[in-house]
Structure 1
Amino acid sequence: MDFSDGYSADVLDAATLEDKSKSSSPISISSLLEAVADDLKTLNKNLKTIVGTENPVLASAAEQIFGAGGKRLRPALVFLVSRATAKVAGLRDLTPQHRRLAEIIEMIHTASLIHDDVLDDSGMRRGKETIHQIYGTRVAVLAGDFMFAQSSWYLANLENLEVIKLISQVIKDFASGEIKQASSLFDCDLPLDEYLLKSYYKTASLISASTKAAAIFSGVSETICEQMFDYGKNLGLSFQVVDDILDFTQSAEQLGKPAASDLAKGNLTAPVIFALEKEPKLREIIDLEFGEAGSLDDAIDLVFKSGGIERARDLAKEKADLAISKLQCLPEDEFRSSLEGMVKYNLDRID
């Protein structure tokens, strides 16, 4: 995976997009999703039944997480790219494969959330208790595994080998991202490229695969399919960098978790990586894994004073600009406008 664009030397969770401090922003998620509102309504009706009812616990778990709300941003991206590229291909409407793809993507994302909550021992997800809090860790892990397996079965039934390979790689990438993160905790020598690769695995892989797969099902050229992949990749990376900035700049109440929680756990993100280039004292603090009283607060101060936040903001904007540049192959219509708006809205969260 090439991350050499620009800077070279993780979430797009729907809930995180609602930055309460940006209520005056001219771009709203609801307006961006209006172009595919009917498609999302159909998807919402199907999600709770697609898991099946053969196991009451799994059915209850699906109801718990699918009923917790969220903006369904990943399937929305599938629908937006599907409709934009369908127009290029001269299709009158979306194919059943487009719609099934959107459902599969949301199932994979949901499975990853269940596993993430177990790994992070999170008690709440979108205002509701997490699956492992209700049913226990063992059932939560199995529920996530079942959703991955179920999504793979539906994926195989699409009978498109290129898409099967593309989406199957995402599940592998999720695991690779978690392993990379776990093996690099408190590593002050973590290169920016490694951070971006981990962010790709954890966040951007699913988005880029889904946007490319949507274009494949429209039957457009390989060039357009690759540009849709690059759009998703850079959008995903920009989202992750923005989330990592917000981990420092938002209050614990806004985040729904303690501020700078990634840093406290030793997960060094873009603001910290940039700050380490200018603040030797920060390395000393991190090497001691915040063992001294007040050392985490000192580290946070150094990240701000060093300009780490500003440089991370520049990185997020650079990836955002790359994402928008990949949309030039699409017709100028409401679907392309919403795809561009997704990128701009993300940056609005840190303006």
Structure 2
Amino acid sequence: MMSMTCHNLDFGTRVLDLVAVGSSSNSSIERYAVKNHGKTFATKVYGARRMVCCRQNISRTRVFSTNTSEALLNGVGQRTAPVLDLKKEAKSPISLANLFEVVADDLQTLNQNLQSIVGAENPVLMSAAEQIFGAGGKRMRPALVFLVSRATAELVGLKDLTTKHRRLAEIIEMIHTASLIHDDVLDESDMRRGRETVHQLYGTRVAILAGDFMFAQSSWYLANLENLEVIKLISQVIKDFASGEIKQASSLFDCDVKLEDYLLKSYYKTASLIAASTKGAAIFSGADRSVTEQMYEYGKNLGLSFQVVDDILDFTQSAEQLGKPAGSDLAKGNLTAPVIFALEKEPKLREIIESEFCETGSLDEAIELVKQCGGIERAQE
């Protein structure tokens, strides 16, 4: 089982547990301090893993090794992981505004560029894209690109980010947005970030074309970066998206789904893009291969952790906080970590899920069983 130590991270309307995971060894710790805009980047190397943290007046951290599950895909979860444990006496959540403050200007520029980079050849597609871009969002993926870019640039002596760093962040956010548009069509979701989804406003036909257009446009900008390693890296992500959707669609309402299958699907749908974001940023800094691989592993494990926490929030937060109906994954038969753990203890939950919630009130009953059977607590572990 994958084990993680978590601390609250405020996402504005939701609180995410801050998790840093990867592999560890008993080798010595190197420390690097990167000063930028009055903030401190702390980068630590733990044997085969480099952890990057950005905080103002960063406090002392401690690292613990925890056991992970067996390999899921290309080494996912194979090795033991150092967990970044923030000061235990710090009770208040760490907001993304504070965590990403050092790249706030970078994110502001990205927001301004996103609409123009999509292109204005087709007003309908632009309006569809604006429905997602205009809804805001945390911009976590491009923020990670900027944070890793600045940290690794400092290591190799670069004074500032390159145009390729910035373009990569924009490409990553475009790909993520395209995947959301398609996800909402496949999941028949009505709301995204508190707004109506693209297919609800413009129809399924336009939504699919808008997603395809953004994938194609991002691929064009990616090719113009003229870095074959990064092109291959991001192209694999788009392939992984499709693999994840197929894997999810083939296991709906399947109460025999294993935790390993869930984590593999989560890698395809979430962690693959985050891992590519962090590795690509390091590549464009000119970091050596050991650093780029460490950044990939860091992004991969962070992405898996992010997905587990997101699936927990589906049971613990309201529709207003989530920007979509609570329990929506379970309602559609997508069984996530809390449900998988709860199924181990409650046979009645299996009966309800396999009936596909045909009886009135059965979904609410299933959600309560997940909470009562400790599924959420097991997932948090």
Stretches of structure 2 lacking an aligned partner (at least 5 in a row): 5-9, 17-90
Aligned partner (choices 312, 328, 342) of residue 261 of structure 1:
328
Cα distance between partner residues in 2 of 1:48 and 1:190: 40
- Indicate how the Cα distance of structure 1 residues 45 and 34 shifts in structure 2: closer, same or farther if over 3 A, else same: same
Matched, 1:84 2:151: yes
Q: Which has the higher helix share?
A: 1
Matched, 1:19 2:13: yes
- State the TM-score, normalizing by the size of structure 2: 0.75
Shift of 1:311: 0.7
Cα distance between partner residues in 1 of 2:346 and 2:267: 27
Cα distance between partner residues in 2 of 1:295 and 1:94: 53
Shift of 1:18: 2.4
- Indicate how the Cα distance of structure 1 residues 231 and 252 shifts in structure 2: closer, same or farther if over 3 A, else same: same
Q: Which amino acid aligns with 1:156?
A: A
Per-residue CA deviations over 1:116-167 (Å, capped at 9, x if unaligned) read 2222333333343332223221111111101000100111111111100110
Shift of 1:21: 7.5
Cα distance between partner residues in 1 of 2:344 and 2:141: 35
Give the count of matched residue pairs.
302
Cα distance between partner residues in 1 of 2:368 and 2:257: 20
Q: Secondary structure at the match of 1:75?
A: helix
- State the TM-score, normalizing by the size of structure 1: 0.81
Aligned partner (choices 82, 103, 110) of residue 43 of structure 1:
110
Q: Which amino acid aligns with 2:221?
A: Y
- Indicate how the Cα distance of structure 1 residues 51 and 258 shifts in structure 2: closer, same or farther if over 3 A, else same: closer
Aligned partner (choices 250, 268, 273) of residue 201 of structure 1:
268
Aligned partner (choices 172, 182, 185) of residue 118 of structure 1:
185
Spell out the pairing of 1:211-290 with structure 2 (5 A cutoff): 211-290=278-357
Cα distance between partner residues in 2 of 1:5 and 1:270: 11
- 1:106 is matched with 173
Cα distance between partner residues in 2 of 1:224 and 1:274: 35
Cα distance between partner residues in 1 of 2:309 and 2:137: 19
Matched, 1:32 2:26: no
Cα distance between partner residues in 2 of 1:300 and 1:194: 21
Shift of 1:301: 2.7
Cα distance between partner residues in 1 of 2:366 and 2:190: 27
- 1:292 is matched with 359
- Indicate how the Cα distance of structure 1 residues 287 and 120 shifts in structure 2: closer, same or farther if over 3 A, else same: closer
Q: Which amino acid aligns with 1:197?
A: L
Shift of 1:285: 2.2
Shift of 1:20: 5.3
- 1:339 is matched with none
Shift of 1:245: 0.9
Q: Which amino acid aligns with 1:211?
A: T
- Indicate how the Cα distance of structure 1 residues 282 and 20 shifts in structure 2: closer, same or farther if over 3 A, else same: closer
Cα distance between partner residues in 1 of 2:121 and 2:252: 41
Spell out the pairing of 1:136-147 with structure 2 (5 A cutoff): 136-147=203-214
Q: Which amino acid aligns with 2:241?
A: F
Q: Secondary structure at the match of 1:112?
A: helix
Matched, 1:179 2:246: yes
Matched, 1:163 2:230: yes
- Indicate how the Cα distance of structure 1 residues 312 and 21 shifts in structure 2: closer, same or farther if over 3 A, else same: closer
Cα distance between partner residues in 1 of 2:136 and 2:366: 35
Cα distance between partner residues in 1 of 2:322 and 2:120: 34
Q: Larger deviation: 266-275 or 48-57?
A: 48-57
Q: Larger deviation: 285-294 or 274-283?
A: 285-294
Cα distance between partner residues in 1 of 2:193 and 2:263: 26
Aligned partner (choices 103, 118, 127) of residue 60 of structure 1:
127
- 1:75 is matched with 142
- 2:371 is matched with 304
Stretches of structure 1 lacking an aligned partner (at least 5 in a row): 8-15, 315-351
> Greater relative contact order: 1 or 2 (C-alpha under 8 angstroms, separation 6 or more)?
1
Cα distance between partner residues in 2 of 1:299 and 1:153: 45
Cα distance between partner residues in 1 of 2:129 and 2:184: 15
Cα distance between partner residues in 1 of 2:194 and 2:313: 19
Q: Which amino acid aligns with 2:246?
A: I
Percentage identity across aligned positions? Answer: 79
- Indicate how the Cα distance of structure 1 residues 62 and 222 shifts in structure 2: closer, same or farther if over 3 A, else same: same
Q: Larger deviation: 211-220 or 37-46?
A: 37-46
Q: Which has the higher strand share?
A: 2
- 1:320 is matched with none
Q: Secondary structure at the match of 1:134?
A: helix
